[in-house]
Amino acid sequence: MMEIERDDAGDLWFRGMSPLHADTLLHVPEWLNNEDPRVRARLLPQAYTEPEDEQQWRRLGADHLEHLFASRARIVGKDLESLVQDGPVTYTFCIRKAHANAWLSSLNAARLALFELHELDDVDLERDPSELGSFEKELALVRIHVMALMQELLIEAETG
């Protein structure tokens, strides 16, 4: 059973994480940096209908957002360096207090990336993973739910 504890510095410690939780989190930076065009289009969607406006936004804003994704991936990766095995099949890691927003954004972006990479749709989110017809899609959906749980736990911890 996973437990969350805030230390005196305000950092959040996640203890007793399952191997699936730990492995999913370890992949977050990779999913944020995925260059698949479907992922990039989902994370940086079209902002304007007029081609000139869209082109200007891409020129002025997209690079900033790309830098933001890369920065958040580095923050998440740095926190994941604290991941250690704390039992026969459980893990512990720490999210620094100042990194909570980067984690929330990163988990959301990673969920979107998996959604695109595995060609899932909104209906799939409500389905039992075993109904998806392939192990890869089942695992992706379970990982999406794991990241949603982590987001929920972070929000609860931050809002008290």
**Res 82 pLDDT > 90:** yes
pLDDT grade for 59, boundaries at 50, 70 and 90: confident
Tell me the angle at which helices 135-159 and 19-32 cross, rounded to the nearest 10 degrees.
90
Structure tokens at 76: 């998440």
What global pTM score does this model have? 0.89
Structure tokens at 25: 């989190």
Q: What is the pLDDT of residues 94-151, one digit of tens each?
A: 999 999 999 999 999 999 999 999 999 888 888 888 888 899 999 999 999 999 999 9
SS3 label, residue 44: coil
**Res 52 pLDDT > 80:** yes
| Domains in the chain: boundaries | 3-159
**Res 159 pLDDT > 80:** yes
